[in-house]
Chains A and B, each alone.
Chain A
Amino acid sequence: MVNAAPFPLIGIDDQDASGLDARMAEVQEFETFVRNYQNMVFSVAARIVGNPIDAQDIAQEVFIKAYARFDELNASGTVGGWLKTVATNLAINHLNRYRARWRFFSEEETEVEIPISDPPTDDRRELLELAIQKLPDAQRVPLVLFHFQDLSYEEIADKLGISLAKVKTDIHRGRGSLRKILVKTS
């Protein structure tokens, strides 16, 4: 007796159901992936935009992009680098889109002050983190790209579309502000 092939009705057959199982397994695997990299991606975004709420949205967007090419990323050995680059680009786009373009203000010398209302802390790291957040965008973004993303001055200038001299000045000013705060509080 010859088994006739089933008529291809639209519906969820066994193959489709196993496809769903595979997807669920993939989602679980992705959850582990997010758990491993969430702090890194969140840090990159938070330090660039200087705001944890916006950083969460950016980090979420990064992981959604990562999910779209999860198979490819899983196979490659440069996942961390890819996530950092995407987070950096999205954070810079976010700043350009939603805030006054920071390069116009980069000529101003800004004194960074940590408001008294902020919770006082003895933890030097926490203080440094807070000071970075409070830096004006023009100083914070190049400084973060230089110190945390290990980009060269040329790469930063290229990424932000500003001159090399301005990058150096902004990083210098940012470091100056950080140093003042840390010396004052030590």
Chain B
Amino acid sequence: MKEPNEDWLDQELKALPDLEAPPEFLPKVMRSVQRRSVQRWLLSIFRQHLPFIKNSCLGFALAMMVLVPLFNPGGAVVDFLVRSPLIHCLEDMLDVGRTILTSLRIFQLPLGWLIALVAGLSYLTCILAASTVRQLATAKRL
């Protein structure tokens, strides 16, 4: 590939000085560097005190293992929930829903089965459509 006037173009390109970075560039870079510097410093402090943090966590876990059976906070929560009217209401609603799904029949099929069937088929259709679109896009790109 012969280049006429190659010399002068080469010279002009070679003589091009570096572009000047905009004045806002340096402060922008330094802001993000300072943020990172503080993060690194905090991380180094964390690493420095890691054995102490590990030991504290272990001690806390052991203390909890002793205290939890004594005070049994889980039992109190369960008691509260069992006594809650909301739970009873929820139980009744679920009962009604179960009855509807098992007793009501459409095309000789229980409603629950039908809903499960429709949901499964929709899911399969979505998967098939997505993979077809992907294959078509790949084929077009190639």
Contacts and interface: CB of A to CB of B under 8 A. Distances in A.
B135 interface: no
A167 B46 CA distance: 51
B41 A23 contact: yes
A182 interface: yes
Given A31-B26, A60-B29, A128 B37 contact: no
Nearest to B44: A19
A30 interface: yes
Nearest to B45: A16
A172 B1 contact: yes
Contacts, number: 104
A75 interface: no
B15 A39 contact: no
Given A19-B45, A43-B18, A64 B12 contact: no
Interface in B26-77: 26, 28-30, 32-34, 36-38, 40-41, 44-45, 48-49, 52-53
Given A26-B37, A27-B37, A175 B19 contact: no
Contact of A63 (B33, B41, B52): B33
Given A42-B20, A172-B3, 7 more contacts: A9-B52, A12-B45, A15-B48, A16-B48, A67-B37, A128-B16, A178-B13
Interface of B: 1, 3, 5-6, 9-10, 12-22, 25-26, 28-30, 32-34, 36-38, 40-41, 44-45, 48-49, 52-53
24 contacts: A23-B38, A24-B37, A31-B30, A34-B29, A34-B30, A38-B21, A39-B21, A42-B18, A42-B19, A42-B21, A42-B25, A43-B18, A56-B22, A56-B25, A60-B25, A60-B28, A64-B29, A67-B37, A125-B12, A125-B15, A128-B12, A147-B10, A147-B13, A178-B13
Give the 9 A-B residue pairs with the shortest CB-CB distance, closest first.
A42-B21, A38-B21, A39-B18, A43-B18, A43-B19, A147-B13, A8-B52, A63-B29, A23-B37
Interface of A: 8-10, 12, 15-16, 19-20, 23-24, 26-27, 30-31, 34-35, 38-43, 46-47, 52, 56, 59-60, 63-64, 67-68, 124-125, 128-129, 147-148, 168, 172, 175, 178-179, 182
